[in-house]
Chains A and B, each alone.
Chain A
Amino acid sequence: MSKNPPLKSMSCNLAGRGFGMLPVKDLECPSENNQQTLPLIHGFFVDLLRGEQNTDGGWGYRSGTQSAVEPTAWAALALQPLEPPDSKILSSASEWLLRAQTSEGAWPTGSGSEPGCWVTALACLALLNQHGRDEEAVARGARWLCSTWPAEGNLMWRLRKHLHRKPENVVRQDDSLRGWNWTPGTASWVEPTAYSLLLLQNIPDHIRPSQAGERIRLAERMLYDRSCPGGGWNTGNPLVYGVPGVPRTGPTAWALLALRNHRDHPASAEGIEWLARALKGIRSPGALALAHLCLEVYGHNPAPVDVDFCNFYKKNQFLQSVPVVAWASLALNGVPFWLKPSPAARSPK
């Protein structure tokens, strides 16, 4: 259930159509957050998402571009709590996602053909709460994810490391702790690992792959291993040549969301402290949405951000990014079901 008042149709002062690239000069942002502005601004982004759906049922990364898995998954996840059960928007989105699944059970990256772990996790997450008939697709996607291992730690990696030995401090990481890569044949990184964890933590028992528990434990440990000294996460290089990596909002938020069942872990505590400190300096709507959502999940009660989103939108129209509009909508709508504490929480060792 959404924590917010019902969405309202756009009033005239928020009626500047967004992505169709019609002028947004009429978009007037209120000076402060209040109970009246939030549904209006949230409604603006939701209307924007609905309006950007392509006729084939999917969404492109930007307005008017061909449908792709990631924006379709994010748009569907953002709209799920707001659409009626018989929503045509959601059913056509599901159908698009089902058509996009590859024969091996994965979903393709922006290439339209090559499989990607992050998009597979997101597509499955978007299909999870849709219709019973999508369960088989989710099960196949989850099985594909659980059988896909990153390249570090394999025989070739060990051989290459042996042949091209570098000083111990070049990249400080434990290669035995493996999460998920962006694309097969490459190394583990923070964001695809976090997305895959979110899926496996939410998947119903009857379609949960047998390897899921072990993959979850290993991936959670991998995320902790990749946290930056002092707190937070970047893409996945916490220390290179002895120099601590700078944490970034997006990876930090996703890592913390994937580790939300272990909030007492010292690295989680450091990460959330870093994120709370970073909040004031955030300069983009995508980072703001993720930080806000994460702080809310961790019970920090962050200040309302509807007016900030309005101002960001007025400034650059979110660079027309459909995923960012979806994240803003998610942040304004309260914690979704897939970010609630997972019943299968276990402590990573």
Chain B
Amino acid sequence: MSYSNVRLVPPFQRSPSRVAIRAVSSYEADVEAVVMETLQELRPPVCGKSVLIKPNFVEPDIGGVINTHPIVIRAAREAFLRLGAKSVIIAEGPGHERDTEGILEVLQLKDYIGPLDRSFTDLNTDEVSQVPTRTKASKLKSLFLSKTVLGADFVVSMPKMKTHHWVGVTLALKNMFGIVPGNCYGWPKNVLHWAGLSESILDINSTVRPDFAIVDGIVGMEGNGPIQGTPKASCVIVAGDDPVAVDATCARIMGLVPERIDYLKRAALLLGHMEENKIEQLGETIGSVCRPFEILPEFQSLRA
């Protein structure tokens, strides 16, 4: 279980992580085949487990740049089921918009995953349990977390590859903000901002560490992300069983130095690997897919 099994392990005690980078030219390509092939290679242990996919849905976006693309979500769902998952549910608590159904309708999610009442849970209005945070980096000390998330056997963070105007980038770790419900913390989840963004990212992920991450970098966002930036086609899907290693790899693909991203540096102390020599790279090389992202002047120091 993602909650009770979280172990905080320093890098020197952690075995190397594996991260796959797959080139995908566009959403019209055979995304399902690419994701299936990737998961077959990485073999996430989902057989007989309830899988919860946590995409990044922020607000309605006709341009398709803000939210994780439903094609990638469908591909992951199908792949997990084929690998023997007992069930797969999509769950998200959008941060900027109370009208979750409006977001899903613009995404046309139902067309990809079937009836929403059976396959989607709005984490913003889910029942909650109060749990102590495993790390105490922020002022929070405990979190009210969705019972659906706490009850899942296997949590998959599925963000979009984007820049972020407060913390530099938003990837698998930052995406976990969505498991904190709006019905406790409001819209946006301003409590987390006041408690410290980097610190809150660490506390949330130390409490519910994603078991797996799949990043939609086919078209991401650069500049003033995560909602007001411009589209950036990196033409990749990045996946792995270590969210820190996946985020560090994505940062390198974006032309940034992961060691300079505050929350990633903190997460690398206890939650996964950031160093390149501790990450076994599968598929494409970082150099072959690296397309530096435009970033705001405040974050120029993150550039490689």
Contacts and interface: CB of A to CB of B under 8 A. Distances in A.
Contacts of A52: none
B100 interface: yes
Interface stretch (B185-193, B210-218, B266-274, B283-291): B185-193
Given A248-B99, A319-B116, A183 B187 contact: no
A186 B224 contact: no
Instruction: Give the dominant DSSP class at B's interface.
Output: mixed
A316 B193 CA distance: 33
Nearest to A109: B184
A185 B99 contact: no
B228 A241 contact: yes
Interface centre among B105, B120, B125, B165 (most CB of A within 10 A): B125
A246 to B, nearest CB: 8
A316 B191 contact: no
A111 B184 contact: yes
A182 B224 contact: no
Nearest to A288: B102
Interface in A226-257: 234-235, 240-241, 243, 245-246, 248-250
Interface in A56-72: 60-62, 65-66, 68, 70
A316 B116 contact: yes
Contact of B101 (A62, A109, A318): A318
Contacts of A250: 97-99
B298 A240 contact: no
B184 A151 contact: no
B203 interface: no
A209 interface: no
B153 interface: no
B255 interface: no
A183 B185 contact: yes
B2 to A, nearest CB: 21
Contact of B117 (A181, A189, A320, A324): A320
Given A111-B128, A316-B116, A319-B122, A249 B99 contact: yes
Interface string B155-190: 000000000010000000000000001011111101
Contacts of B59: 246, 248
Contact of B130 (A111, A189, A191, A234): A111
B99 A235 contact: no
B291 to A, nearest CB: 22
B298 A166 contact: yes
A317 interface: yes
Contacts of A234: 96
A206 B194 CA distance: 37
B183 A283 contact: no
A21 B102 contact: no
B105 A284 contact: yes
A110 B183 contact: yes
B89 to A, nearest CB: 14
B98 A191 contact: yes
Contacts of A248: 59-60, 97, 99
B296 interface: yes
Interface centre among B105, B106, B190 (most CB of A within 10 A): B190
A316 B144 contact: no
Contacts of B165: 240-241
Contacts of B296: 241
Given A283-B106, A286-B99, A61 B117 contact: no
Contacts, number: 126
Interface centre among A110, A113, A187, A246 (most CB of B within 10 A): A110
Contacts of A151: 194
Contacts of B116: 316, 319
B127 interface: yes
Contact of A182 (B96, B100, B102, B185): B185
A191 B188 CA distance: 11
A248 B102 CA distance: 10
A75 to B, nearest CB: 14
B47 to A, nearest CB: 28
A287 interface: yes
Given A189-B187, A189-B190, A248-B97, A283 B125 contact: no
A246 B106 CA distance: 15
B117 A319 contact: yes
B110 interface: yes
B60 A283 contact: yes
Nearest to B297: A167
Given A250-B99, A319-B101, A320-B117, A182 B228 contact: no
A60 B144 CA distance: 17
Interface in B77-120: 96-102, 104-106, 110, 115-117, 120
Nearest to B109: A316
Contacts of A109: 183-185
Contact of A284 (B99, B110, B187): B99
A240 B110 contact: no
Contacts of A182: 185-187, 190-191
Contact of B125 (A62, A192, A241, A316): A62
Interface in A89-131: 109-114, 116, 118
Contact of A110 (B102, B128, B190): B128
Given A68-B183, A319-B122, 17 more contacts: A109-B185, A111-B130, A112-B128, A114-B144, A116-B186, A182-B186, A185-B191, A189-B187, A189-B188, A189-B190, A240-B165, A241-B228, A243-B228, A284-B99, A284-B102, A316-B105, A320-B117
19 contacts: A62-B122, A109-B183, A110-B128, A110-B144, A110-B184, A166-B298, A181-B186, A183-B184, A235-B96, A235-B97, A235-B188, A249-B99, A250-B99, A283-B60, A283-B106, A284-B105, A286-B101, A287-B99, A321-B122
- A-B pairs, top 10 by smallest CB distance, nearest first, are A182-B186, A110-B183, A61-B125, A284-B102, A283-B105, A186-B190, A284-B101, A243-B228, A111-B184, A111-B144
